[in-house]
Amino acid sequence: MTITTRLTKRFGIKHPIVLAPMTPASGGALASAVAAAGGLGLLGGGYVDRVWFEAESAKVTRSDVGAGFITWTIPEDPGLLDIALERHPRAMMLSFSDPGLYAARIKKAGVPLICQVHCLDHAFRAVDVGADVIVAQGTEAGGHGWALRSTMPFVPSVVDALAARAPDVLVLAAGGIADGRGLAASLMLGADGVLMGTRFWATQEALIPDAAKTMVLEATGDETIRTSVYDVVRRRVWPPGYTGRLMRNDFIERWQGHEKELEQMRGEELRKVEEAQKSDDFEIANVTVGESIGLIHDIPKAGDLIHRIVAEASNRLMKFAPALAA
């Protein structure tokens, strides 16, 4: 089954599903698998870790894979953006800061620009600097974002605003979407497709420890929380307003609300986190996922997942079409 939207037509893909460029989950194997299945695969660029990016870029098996970066970290290694544009020109996604500093460089390279936004002002700024695609991310999403807008009301707000201001710019829904119901709902909200992170995080190709993936199978969305404690312990100074959604654990329960004290003990606590990562102790190490974990009950291959989601969405949409036509 296929679902045709402006996204599938613009990018020449089969399905309106985009892989979030998560680091470390979205490595070369996962991005390639999503592209092979007819979606848009984006290689994670994250905090501009050149060693990691070079290694995973070498594993990309297709020419139709793009990439994405945490925008405010690009100055730490500005040359890496140019490498990504040359190797993976399918699309470039910028998230979590003003895209204006790099939009012209991306557009000059002839690469479609995808900008993730969390409020209408972000969307307007992205459009003004030349974004081809806007990702409207609700606070349900895993990882970093703003705790301001939920996906259900935010997506149609962006769709309506861009219809008047920039009708050719595409809109993707993100946050809490993990199955065909989420895809169908997003299309009904006016989105041209979806960007998914957490659901792809729990696939066989994702570069996530099996122990962490198994934890998600037993969890519900009630077990996530927005927090900055891991940013504090790793001394990652995010722009104001941004926190990350993760699974609750002992480390978060200990330090949530005590961030100033954590800063004073950062060295000791960082050693604990690093050791916990090596030993798969996720009561100390982080599991970065969104509220949609309650909808995840298996760890499939990414391609199989895409086909399942599209089939379910198609069935949902067709189920009600006869009644509406009548």
Judged against a pLDDT cut of 60, whether residue 260 lies above it is answered with: yes
**Residue 286: per-residue pLDDT:** 96
Nearest to 98 by CA among 141, 49, 131, 144: 131
Judged against a pLDDT cut of 60, whether residue 266 lies above it is answered with: yes
Task: Please give the C-alpha separations between residue 213 and each of 98, 248, 276, 292, in angstroms, as whole numbers.
Answer: 32, 15, 16, 13
Chain center to CA of 133: 14
Rounded Cα distance, 117 and 104, in Å:
18
Q: What is the pTM of this model?
A: 0.95
What's the pLDDT tens digit per position in 188-233?
999 999 999 999 999 999 999 999 999 999 899 999 999 999 999 9
What's the pLDDT tens digit per position in 120-170?
999 999 999 999 999 999 999 999 999 889 999 999 999 999 999 999 999
Judged against a pLDDT cut of 70, whether residue 324 lies above it is answered with: no
Residue 63: count other Cβ atoms within 10 Å of its Cβ.
10
What's the pLDDT tens digit per position in 91-119?
999 999 999 999 999 999 999 999 999 99
What dihedral angle (degrees, nearest 10) is formed by the CA atoms of 236, 238, 240, 243? Answer: -90
What region, left, alpha or beta, does residue 142 occupy, with left being phi > 0 and alpha being psi -120 to 50 degrees? beta
Task: Please give the C-alpha separations between residue 315 and each of 10, 18, 126, 196, 321, in angstroms, as whole numbers.
Answer: 24, 20, 34, 20, 10
Judged against a pLDDT cut of 50, whether residue 28 lies above it is answered with: yes
Residue 122 DSSP code: H
Judged against a pLDDT cut of 80, whether residue 325 lies above it is answered with: no
Tokens 């935010």 — which residue? Answer: 154
How much of the chain exceeds pLDDT 90, in percent? Answer: 94
Nearest to 93 by CA among 21, 40, 144, 150: 21
**Residue 322: per-residue pLDDT:** 64
Q: Quick one: average pLDDT of 271-278?
A: 96
pLDDT band of 323, cuts 50, 70, 90: low
**Residue 326: per-residue pLDDT:** 46
Nearest to 82 by CA among 55, 45, 51: 45
Rounded Cα distance, 282 and 249, in Å:
7
Count how many Cα atoms sit within 13 Å of the Cα of residue 213 in the half-sphere of its side chain. Answer: 17
Mean residue pLDDT across the chain: 95
Domain residue spans of the chain = 6-208+297-325, 210-291
**Quick one: the chain helix, strand, coil %, rounded to 5?**
50, 15, 35
Residue 68, beta-bridge partner list: 44, 93
Residue 1: count other Cβ atoms within 10 Å of its Cβ.
12
Pick the CATH number of 6-208+297-325 from 3.20.20.70, 3.40.190.10, 3.40.50.2300, 3.40.50.300: 3.20.20.70
Q: Quick one: average pLDDT of 289-306?
A: 97
What's the pLDDT tens digit per position in 147-161?
889 999 999 999 999
Judged against a pLDDT cut of 60, whether residue 268 lies above it is answered with: yes
* Strand locations in the chain (E): 17-19, 41-46, 65-70, 92-95, 113-117, 133-137, 143-146, 170-174, 193-196, 224-227, 242-247
Task: Please give the C-alpha separations between residue 251 and each of 229, 259, 266, 285, 317, in angstroms, as whole numbers.
Answer: 8, 12, 13, 8, 43
Nearest to 89 by CA among 101, 81, 97: 81
**Residue 320: per-residue pLDDT:** 75
